[in-house]
Structure 1
């Protein structure tokens, strides 16, 4: 049975994929390179079926290739790039990287050590639902920002005094003001006493006094529209304010559902235990990483999938280290957004970020370095099903002792 069984390895990239199929004796029976396209992925699936392959080895457990293979009914096994580097020594001492050779190494490792690798499983329905909610919220925030910018452009032309009146343009008190006073003509009715009454009626709790707010309106540049144009401006402002109000309400509703889903998820406590994670950040990290531990067999695989580890290309004496562009961009954005806020609550994170800046790294680069450092901790917590425990964080404890 094993002598007739076939195994496949795929070394994939965002440009092309090297495929190698070996038989039960370890002989190469097929080697091809296909483009990263719909037709290329269909060709790979057809080729695997023709040779009776049911299990495929690959270096990354996420991305379109893995999703296509799972949808096509194949079993996918992740063998990390670090493991592949070690396995190359079986077949020669040169250690050079070649895509077709790496595909052969993956296939042959699957043949000889099938029991060592875990299968990649689809994410649980809870995780898929959480991911849908998170991505819907992200799209809704993008829409809200676009409408906010449109309203800002209209006000800068028609009603400059309303710009900067409150801390943000789309907060409830600002939207309530614009709904009541959508133009300069209507806002001219306000006096300090009338403004005080309106603020009290609408529950204003800011630091600005009624006199300061009225002075802001009076000292602003006069708008450039009058008559029918001013009336049209009022209609536009009112429509945009109503749209922003609806978008904010729907965002609040989505965030409530996200919190509910996060609390019900088995991995929720792991991500909520991270410093400065909160609810939306924790849910986003969980949704984008998923719950299949085999997808990321080590922390390096997670860092590569998140795009926070540099892309290294080495062949012989040639070495090139570059920014990693092929990655899960939603996961990278979530991981970097969270990591760059952790120095406010974690001494180790603050030290790591400061040392990166002292080496001359700009903020985006330093944030990615910090995010890469956090992936090792996050992966260990996630892999062991254990919440983050600062008492077990050795570097953090060492810095705390030094500070004391």
Structure 2
């Protein structure tokens, strides 16, 4: 005998998940709320398999729960929050938000209208590889910043004159200088002529003349010039310089691989067409958004996943709008990092950002508002497999938006 079809819906959050399973007549046959934990996710899998569920309806197509369901062999169907809000009217006019009721709505919508929504597919190997490269670069930059700060602390005690000598402490010319002159005792050998020769030999193209650099070294506070502590400081400086040099080389190698992977990716031209995207930003946006269009069925789903849309909770007449903390942190950082730089190249973005500032929004808030506005355009380009065109996509700029 053929098994009777069953359908499941999950209303999930970062704290707990409400699961509802219905039969072919729409009757609830199981209902439970579990914590967001390994045992909780395991219980969801057990119940779904016990009742023969193959497809699960959910409001967001990203996050650890979705990864868990796909990994355990279930098909995930995304029904956006706005669609769920409309579907509640099928069962009553109150429209109140309730986790267990929303799980039932998701399950029953999957029972009656499964063909309306696409199944979430895992990202392609090319996208997964690009994501690995991008996140490895981010980790490497974190290590580089930590080593930079360690070097800065050592120089403050042992060689203050090296701080501020060049525009940055960890650029090539600065590291070359510290490798050659790791202490005040070694740098005391320099005269204006000797420094000029060293700068020329090391291809220095900065704006500061040798006389100004020598004056900076002479005017700086005195550090440890001699003794065991000075020798130890010199050894530490050389060690940290070697580490920073290697990290810079590794970062450059990763960025070359990222560029190669982006150019070879089918969605690469879409993200590279965005203003101020460049290579690394475009690759990061692509890697974090992915290539499965079913994951974000509308712009609001993308904005919510990125944490640039406000979290709205309504019960009866009570309405609460708050900062969205549960989101894909990497996606939020990528989207805001790109969006907040677009006012320099796009008149509409400039106007959107400064109108938010004029309303009293601080920079982080105004940047989220701009990022949320950009998600409509980015989502449209991504869904249509079409690079950004200001003339074609400009009409999306005038659509109303929520204050993030």
Could you state the TM-score of these two structures normalised by the residue count of structure 2? 0.97
- Take 1:111 and 1:395, find their aligned partners in 2: how far apart are those partners? 36
- Take 1:296 and 1:397, find their aligned partners in 2: how far apart are those partners? 20
Q: Residue in 1 aligned with 2:110?
A: 110
- Take 1:2 and 1:211, find their aligned partners in 2: how far apart are those partners? 89
Q: Does 1:26 align with 2:47?
A: no
Q: Does 1:357 align with 2:354?
A: no
Q: Residue in 1 aligned with 2:344?
A: 344
Q: Does 1:137 align with 2:137?
A: yes
Q: Deviations over 1:42-76 (max 9, x none)?
A: 00000000000000000000001000000000000
- Contact kept in structure 2, 1:84 and 1:105, CA below 8 Å: yes
Q: Residue in 2 aligned with 1:8?
A: 8
Q: Does 1:182 align with 2:165?
A: no
Q: Which residues in structure 2 correspond to 1:392-403 (within 5 Å)?
A: 392-394=392-394
Q: Residue in 2 aligned with 1:402?
A: none
- Take 2:275 and 2:118, find their aligned partners in 1: how far apart are those partners? 30
- Contact kept in structure 1, 2:178 and 2:238, CA below 8 Å: yes
Q: Does 1:238 align with 2:238?
A: yes
Aligned-residue offset at 1:224: 3.8
Q: Which residues in structure 2 correspond to 1:116-195 (within 5 Å)?
A: 116-195=116-195
Name the SS for the 2:241 alignment partner.
Answer: helix
Aligned-residue offset at 1:318: 1.1
- Contact kept in structure 1, 2:377 and 2:396, CA below 8 Å: no
- Contact kept in structure 2, 1:3 and 1:25, CA below 8 Å: no
Q: Does 1:329 align with 2:300?
A: no
- Take 1:85 and 1:314, find their aligned partners in 2: how far apart are those partners? 11
Q: Deviations over 1:233-273 (max 9, x none)?
A: 11000000000000000000000000000000000000000
Cα separation, partners in 2 of 1:344 and 1:396, compared to 1, 3 Å: farther
- Take 2:151 and 2:236, find their aligned partners in 1: how far apart are those partners? 8
CA-atom RMSD, angstroms?
1.2
Q: Residue in 2 aligned with 1:274?
A: 274
Q: Which residues in structure 2 correspond to 1:202-281 (within 5 Å)?
A: 202-224=202-224, 226-281=226-281
Could you state the TM-score of these two structures normalised by the residue count of structure 1? 0.97
Count of aligned residue pairs for this structure pair: 398
Q: Residue in 1 aligned with 2:57?
A: 57
Name the SS for the 2:308 alignment partner.
Answer: coil
- Contact kept in structure 1, 2:77 and 2:120, CA below 8 Å: yes
Stretches of structure 2 lacking an aligned partner (at least 5 in a row): 399-404
- Take 2:379 and 2:98, find their aligned partners in 1: how far apart are those partners? 29
Aligned-residue offset at 1:397: 9.2
Aligned-residue offset at 1:2: 9.1
Deviation larger for 219-228 or 15-24:
219-228
Aligned-residue offset at 1:394: 2.8
Name the SS for the 1:302 alignment partner.
Answer: helix
Aligned-residue offset at 1:4: 1.4
Aligned-residue offset at 1:124: 0.2
- Contact kept in structure 2, 1:2 and 1:24, CA below 8 Å: no
Aligned-residue offset at 1:226: 2.7
Name the SS for the 2:32 alignment partner.
Answer: strand
Q: Does 1:101 align with 2:79?
A: no
Q: Residue in 2 aligned with 1:299?
A: 299
Aligned-residue offset at 1:228: 1.3
Q: Deviations over 1:312-368 (max 9, x none)?
A: 111101111111000000000000000000000000000000000000000000000
- Contact kept in structure 1, 2:184 and 2:225, CA below 8 Å: no
Q: Deviations over 1:180-215 (max 9, x none)?
A: 000000001100000000000000000000000000
Name the SS for the 2:54 alignment partner.
Answer: strand
Q: Does 1:42 align with 2:42?
A: yes
Name the SS for the 1:113 alignment partner.
Answer: helix
- Take 2:340 and 2:369, find their aligned partners in 1: how far apart are those partners? 10
Name the SS for the 2:7 alignment partner.
Answer: strand
- Take 2:53 and 2:241, find their aligned partners in 1: how far apart are those partners? 58
